[in-house]
Amino acid sequence: QVQLVESGGGLVQAGGSLRLSCAASGRTFSSGALAWFRQAPGKEREFVATLSWSAGSTYYANSVKGRFTISRDNTKNTVYLQMNSLKPEDTAVYYCAYAANLGGTTRPGFYDYWGQGTQVTVSS
């Protein structure tokens, strides 16, 4: 089994930056897809960004493209989400997810493992 633990969330003013981390245990990644999703109160969980571990390719939601960057550190078995130019509408709980048998997908139902989430709050 794979355990994912997110960290790095917090309170930040609009226009500021945060870097989220997702550390994995129980498995060293060699394939599959890592992704970030977010869920605001009263709304459905939505896709943010995904990374193919073996290929290193990335894909972003239009709402965050140009502001957020997903990256990896193979040595630390960790995936990151660098968030710049944050807006109040970015406020949500951010979740890290892993799909063992996919190169990447935007649908949360295809992901096998999930972290517990980390809160990001952007004030205006």
pLDDT of 28 higher than 80:
no
Give percent of the chain above pLDDT 90: 80
Stretch 5-18: mean pLDDT, rounded? 97
- pLDDT greater at residue 66 or residue 2: 66
Residues β-bridged to residue 18:
83
pLDDT of amino acid 105: 84
d(CA 17, CA 96): 18
3-state DSSP: the chain helix, strand, coil percent, rounded to 5?
5, 50, 45
d(CA 121, CA 124): 10
**Contact at 8 Å (CB) between 40 and 94?**
no
**Contact at 8 Å (CB) between 9 and 120?**
yes
In this prediction, residue 11 has a pLDDT band, given cuts at 50, 70 and 90, of: very high
pLDDT of 101 higher than 90:
no
